[in-house]
Amino acid sequence: MRMWVACGLVMTVLGVGVVRGQEVVGTAPAPAGKPVVLLWPAGAPGALGDADEDKPTLTVFLPAGVNATETGVVVAPGGGYQHLATEKEGFAIAEWLNARGVAAFVLKYRLGPKYHYPAQLSDAQRAIQLVRAHAAEYGIAPDHVGMWGFSAGGHLTATVGTRGYPCCGPVSGGDAIDKQRVRPDFLVLAYPVITMMEPYVHGGSLKNLLGDDPDPALARSLSAETRVTTDTPPTFLFSTTDDKTVPVMNSVMFYEALVKAGVPAEMHIFQQGAHGAGLAAANPQLSVWPDLVAKWMRERGYMSAAWQ
């Protein structure tokens, strides 16, 4: 049984990092008692209840050492918009980033079939805004906020990255968080869902995001490869040819759109490897891919050169 305890305004010390002035929701099932912050303390827009599943959150991971590049990354686990692979594609990623001096924030966003679009996009954009609004407390710079998504979380990340405006208006007249930019400064996409159109759509993600009878026009507008512009952030993509769950062409189409728009992009496609590999530490074919991400982040100034 999960118990949530409203703690009001608190100060929580994490290593050398300090989180102040936010409503923290007890200690969710996260490593080492990391604080879990409600995106909307008074309730998320369009909430259909007051259960855990109705409350989008961020679990905060601050590095124990110095964050030399003042970088923070919002991490969006995958799960076909029906569940979240929070351990392998959330907490493990946050700990990997912390070990390299980067702050991380694992996003719990609302899911289908209870919630359809735009709830997920609203949650993700609010997460970016919240991190920027509290950048000084987290020891990061507002212009060094990236987003890293896996599978359906990759679709969510690409969707956030290809929209420079809030999907939904401010709640209750807005707050200081609503004034922050919604577009991340860089993207990392791991075996992402990108398109919502045939022939390469992941059917489960489409159904859970848009329902049983999706509007074709909406499905097209949520196909991230159709929305890339020169304003899309620099992007790193990783996938495998053998992925039987999300066709590798999702990554290829997004990369092609980035190149055509002149957006800095790097893509690594491995021949072998099943979907959902996470950091792939036990997979000799794929285990190098996190090192490639680290190299890319260092080259762009989002990770210290000390972490070679």
Say whether pLDDT at 38 is over 70. yes
10 residue type, one letter: V
Q: What is the pLDDT of residue 276?
A: 86
The edge-to-edge listing of strands for the beta sheet with 235-240 is 6-14, 17-25, 36-38, 57-61, 103-108, 72-76, 145-150, 187-190, 235-240, 265-270
Give the tens place of pLDDT for each residue, 67-116: 999 999 999 999 999 999 999 999 999 999 999 999 999 999 999 999 99
Q: Which residue, 219, 195, 208, 202, is CA-closest to 116?
A: 208
Contact at 8 Å (CB) between 80 and 50? no
Domain ranges for the chain: 40-299
Average pLDDT for 45-63: 97
Say yes or no to pLDDT of 134 above 70: yes
- pLDDT above 70 coverage of the chain, percent: 88
Please state, in angstroms and rounded to a whole number, the distance separating the CA atoms of residues 76 and 190: 10
19 pLDDT exceeds 80?
no
pLDDT at residue 169 in the model: 64
% of the chain surpassing 90 pLDDT: 80
**Closest alpha carbon to 196 in 211, 183, 182:** 211
Q: How far apart are CA 222 and CA 274, in angstroms?
A: 25
CB 253 within 8 A of CB 201: no
Q: Tell me if 131 sits within 8 A of 143, measured CB to CB.
A: no
Look at 169-183, 205-219, 249-263 and tell me which has the smallest mean pLDDT: 169-183
Sign of CA dihedral 104, 261, 125, 219: negative
Classify 289 as helix, strand or coil. Answer: helix
Contact 15, 66 (CB under 8 A): no
- What pLDDT is stored for residue 7 in this prediction? 28
The pLDDT confidence band at residue 176, using thresholds 50, 70 and 90, is: confident
Q: Residue range 184-213: average pLDDT? A: 97
Residue burial 231-269, b: 16+ Cβ < 10 Å; e: rest: ebbbbbbbbbeebeebbbbbbbbbbebbeeeebebbbbb
| Distance of alpha carbon 157 from alpha carbon 234, whole angstroms | 12
End-to-end CA distance of the chain: 42
Average pLDDT over residues 114-142: 97
What residue type is 302 in one-letter code?
A: Y
Instruction: Report which of residues 147 and 179 the model is more confident about.
Output: 147
Model confidence pLDDT, tens digit, residues 179-195: 999 999 999 999 999 99
pLDDT at 32: 66
Give the model confidence (pLDDT) of 219-238 as tens digits. 999 999 999 999 999 999 99
Q: What is the architecture of the domain spanning 40-299?
A: 3-Layer(aba) Sandwich (3.40)
Over residues 127-132, mean pLDDT: 98
* φ and ψ at residue 114, rounded to 5 degrees: -70, -40
pLDDT given at position 24: 45
Q: Which of 16-20, 54-58, 124-128 has the lowest mean pLDDT?
A: 16-20
Collapsed DSSP state (helix, strand, coil) of residue 87: helix
Q: At residue 137, does pLDDT exceed 50?
A: yes
Q: Nearest to residue 269, comparing CAs of 253, 291, 244, 286? A: 286
